[in-house]
Structure 1
Amino acid sequence: MTRRHVDLLRVATAGSVDDGKSTLIGRLLLDSKAIFEDQLASVEKTSAEKGYDYTDLALLTDGLRSEREQGITIDVAFRYFATPKRKFIIADTPGHIQYTRNMVTGASTADLGLVLVDARNGVSEQSRRHAVLLSLLRVPHIVLVVNKMDLVDHSEEVFARIDDEFTAFASKLDIPDLTAIPISALHGDNVVNRSENMPWYGGASLLHHLEHVHTASDRDLRAVRFPVQYVIRPKSEAYHDYRGYAGQVVGGVLKPGDEVVVLPSGMTSTIAGIDLDGEELAEAYPPMSVTVRLDDDLDVSRGDMIARVHNQPEPVQDLDAMVCWMTTSPLRIGQKLAIKHTTRVTRAVVKDIHYQLDINTLHRVQDADQLHLNEIGRVNLRVAHPLLADSYQQNRSTGSFILVDEATGGTVGAGMING
């Protein structure tokens, strides 16, 4: 049978401090009926206690006490809501430059990025830096959200000036889809419904845009990539002969009857069936998590990859990648680390650091011999065992990896493989 996959949009927010990210997310949660009455009552009570003559919707998302005390968001928080058309996961990322790693974490899996700009202040250095990061992470859709339009008398001229300035800067980056929307998150203008205060704006509301932005063609549906996460061998008598390979489809479309190759062994077989929750599927595609059965009893284990016979990833042992460093102890040439790529884990050594990228100016610091916390640079790595990798431009899943400190088990870096 054919089973419909739930349409999910992953959204990353970015913006300077006090541009209104938390208020915007709170407005989306409120107007989409994604919060409980007691939550709203608590926020209304807290707002009244602070002497506000409005409901501070930012309190719906800034859940940590330390965040509330400082009046800022200091970590990535994932919020969930849904409309009849789509489900959403929103990564609420901090705006400070010292939390670049947090934004990289939140945007690494995003389908769409929201860059918030305060209409009073216009495009800032942080706005440009966030655009660079979203472009570097190859987030395919970006929305420039010009917030607090109520504080500039809903001026079309102010919006047009900000839109033109940001678009001119974005033209230097790799951003395939850019949309600009004027809003007031506090009052709800153009967030869920079109605003009567800005009749000059002829576009869609933010929520309408999020519901209808086309993402089906963003993922590579040609090159089949199925990293094996787990081998399923049930012990019950009813499934005595069952052998399935569980994992997430990160590229291409899998169908029963397709000829495939298991890497790195190179053994070929045919897909006997694809299972999900006890049902057999007619096909599987990104980002579905399924169990694949093969006609032949091959030696397949975690870390292997199933691909098309005539479209295989090339095994690589030397990686040229952009790395975001995420810990206080710097990345150094000669350093040894564990590397996790899809479902495979091996060891790596840092062979060279080509340059450190200044994400504010796009300047390349050529003489860098270290990467410090929150810095991004081009790095050469040598891995102990070849990885079945693609470029990050081709496939964000098989083109990315994380670096792990073997002593602590902590994630210390995230990398994007260059083509």
Structure 2
Amino acid sequence: MPHSFRHNPAFRRFFLGRLLSLVGDAVIPSALALAVLHATGSASALALVLGCAMVPRLVLLPLGGVIADRFNPRTVALTTDLVRCAGQLFVGIELLSGTPELWHIAVAEAIGGAASAFAMPTLSSLIVGIVDEKDRQAANSALGVVRSATLAGGPALAGVLVLTAGPGWAFVLDAASFAVSAALLATLTLNRASAPGEEHRSLRSDLVEGWHEVRSRDWYWTSLVAHATWNGAAAVFATLGPAVAVKELGGDGAWIVIAQAGAVGLLLGSLLSGRARPRRPILVGNLALTTYVLPLGLLALHTPAPAVAAAFGVASAGLGFFNPLWSTAVQAAVPQAVLARVTSYDWLLSLAAMPLGYVLAPLAADAWGEATPLWIAAAAVSLACVATAGMPGVRQFTLNTPADSPGNASANTLAADVSSPDPRRRPSAPRRTPADRPRR
């Protein structure tokens, strides 16, 4: 059992709240799709609802990072849990009424998407505030494991709820999970580097400072380019994979096997990451993401489904292995006072690439065939992830690099941040040198 659990009751409560929220969230995609399609019979209506949730999330993410840095992230997370609880409960009641209105569901999902933009940047700040630095990789890995497990089991749970009780109850379950999570968050006390509201600055200056934090570290911004590319490629695979599997690899069952292999691989990678201690976590993690070339290439070649499934399992394991490493590195290297803003830009770039992949993949497939966008995605992932190894900051990043290690300015700045006894310290004022990972 990780040290984080044995001697940290605050993390145990936080972990339980996250577990319940993830279980609730895992059933929603399938339940929402079935509910909207049953109510309208229109795929366009489903796209509208999904867009209503995605657009506010993307637009408001940077502002969410500013709010989480200016105020207590526990309060921000608690508030957003209550807002999402109310939204999901409203949708559940709407569906249970038997006469759901599409625009009601769309508005509720838009409010939920906006709330998630403020909630997502708080995660790293909450972990830094309740978990000692030496235990953070174990904590991040444990959270990655439950996320992977809920993603694997969520569709099955959604199916049981929808078939036995109706999709409305899936939303009621999600609302209850947010309510419990909010109650558990209310019991936490965070260790913070500085008091909220200590400085009064403009919104623009806070946004600029957060972006400067990202841009000034070559290991960070180059990795974000690679992660955005990876997410765009994942969208291509998710868009074209089912069509290729159904037409060429054996039907619906082939895609189910491939998708389930990915869920299992993600879980195994998360478990492995909790035990691994690579000396150069950013370099190793980014190279692990290059394994996504395997399922993209094999799918383009119409390789039999078992081979594609095995490759997708390996690639998903690479993602599961990478995520805790990335979160731990960012939490160690970025001062707590700006961590939420940095994380919000991380999420923004990762999420923004996925809609692009969703749109371009079918257009390219119609023009040149399905193999072409798959090969383009494979080449882009390989080039972007491997190219990060050429950056000094990526190669030299370690969690115990001495402050006077040789290297370029970016590497030296990083070394000072990581090796400092207090990684949350602010940078010196004259330079204004800045005092997270894909999803995925």
- TM-score, structure 1 normalization: 0.26
Structure (1/2) with the larger strand percentage = 1
Report 1 or 2 for greater relative contact order, CA contacts < 8 Å, sequence distance ≥ 6.
2
Greater Rg by CA: 1
**Greater helix content:** 2
